[in-house]
Structure 1
């Protein structure tokens, strides 16, 4: 029946002659239910139901809490099961493995995640919010600074991708669009290659955004070679810190070849 206040209505406490905050023990006297004769269909249904269960007694067994999660009664509270029920579920995204993978760097993964969602405060987004800001790219000054431009179409960025591709596959292929970059990351390759791609891509995304911030807020500019040296250092440090993990065992060789 659910909570009695919902089933009996606001007049329930008066009809059953028990307080709104009463406990079960206050509705019991000895071995009998201490309730008045029913005067409504709801009260009659309650009386009928109570005849099917034993009258609670402290002498029978001690009380205990029972958590019901998705139809399962638990003797102890499970935060993980409760969270899985109360949280709002969303379909699994096709890009989740290139953002959240074993061994990712939290700040790199977060920047990648926000980038995939196109939530970074790029100049075109700031302008769309009514802020008076130039919309040209601060890295190349040749186009509107959008997510797709700064991470795929900008000349500064293309050089970083070219250097990364040269280290990973020996080719100098660059990405002409953001979807093309995501498609390359999701290609069906070995686990080691996929892990190295994800590490390198996230490091470049993070460093591109760091370059943008340094240029705007710190008036600090690095060349493409200097910025890629930071990417290279990031990748090496990430691999070295996880060299004992099976999936990271041969990554340094792949990156240095």
Structure 2
């Protein structure tokens, strides 16, 4: 064996040197899997994964991020946004980068999550068109907490599934527009963004028209157009 490079490696070598070499007359070896003090007859991927990555408590906002019929890339992006892990300008500046922290959409305030997606004049204009299309009176979101509460509310006259796919698509499109302005110097008006969103929502509903939760959703989306 090679020379040990650590005390733990040395202890292992000492232990191996003390183990008796197996003989042909010895009975066959037996093995078993032990996961979290639980002896198993065979390897269990589920038990091993649960032990290596213990589950945390279920969050109240889980259903607004992961629901049946959501667009995977929109849901993943919304999850990262919910955790406030997007590289907004204020977040990049907190890492020590010497950058301008003003909003890429309006330039009138610091670019953080709540401002970029809810309080910016561009996002507010887009949200006003969206809420009217969903059958609400025009209103604004002041905090991300209020936005998540709105998504999780249950009203018989409004579809939770439609509200979810529209909200996730809107957050995705606003981030796309932010990056397009920042990296490509190309900007679109709120009306153009809504047109893109409208096409995206229609395609999403048509692709899932055989799912029970999407039955009649296109009619609801077009009811106030």
Shorter-chain TM-score: what band? 0.7 to 0.9
Comparing 185-194 and 155-164, the one that deviates more: 185-194
SS in 2 for 1:176: coil
Distance in 2 (CA, whole Å) between partners of 1:132 and 1:236 is: 41
Give ranges in structure 2 of 5+ residues lacking alignment. Answer: 1-11
Q: Which has the greater radius of gyration?
A: 1
**1:105–1:13 Cα change, 3 Å:** closer
Alignment: residue pair count: 212
Matched, 1:246 2:212: yes
Comparing 206-215 and 99-108, the one that deviates more: 99-108
Matched, 1:154 2:105: no
**1:85–1:243 Cα change, 3 Å:** same
Matched, 1:115 2:99: no
Deviation of the 1:249 alpha carbon: 1.5
1:88-119 CA deviation, whole Å, 9 max, x = no partner?
32221111111111122222112111111111
Residue in 1 that maps onto 2:41? 75
1:66-104 CA deviation, whole Å, 9 max, x = no partner?
334456544332212321122132221111111111122
**1:139–1:13 Cα change, 3 Å:** closer
Q: Are the counterparts in 2 of residues 215 and 221 from structure 1 also a CA contact under 8 Å?
A: yes
1:1-257 mapped onto 2 (5 Å cutoff): 18-19=19-20, 22=21, 26=23, 57=27, 65-70=31-36, 73-189=39-155, 193-257=159-223
Q: Are the counterparts in 2 of residues 192 and 250 from structure 1 also a CA contact under 8 Å?
A: no
Give ranges in structure 1 of 5+ residues lacking alignment. Answer: 1-8, 31-56
Give the alignment's TM-score, normalised by structure 2. 0.83
Q: Are the counterparts in 2 of residues 165 and 174 from structure 1 also a CA contact under 8 Å?
A: no
Residue in 2 that maps onto 1:47? none
Deviation of the 1:169 alpha carbon: 2.0
Q: Are the counterparts in 2 of residues 192 and 247 from structure 1 also a CA contact under 8 Å?
A: no
Distance in 2 (CA, whole Å) between partners of 1:120 and 1:102 is: 24
SS in 2 for 1:175: coil
Give me the CA root mean square deviation: 2.6
Distance in 1 (CA, whole Å) between partners of 2:86 and 2:211 is: 32
1:152-203 CA deviation, whole Å, 9 max, x = no partner?
1111001111111111124212212221111101112459811111100000
SS in 1 for 2:134: helix
| Higher RCO (Cα < 8 Å, 6 or more apart) | 2
Q: Are the counterparts in 2 of residues 165 and 172 from structure 1 also a CA contact under 8 Å?
A: yes
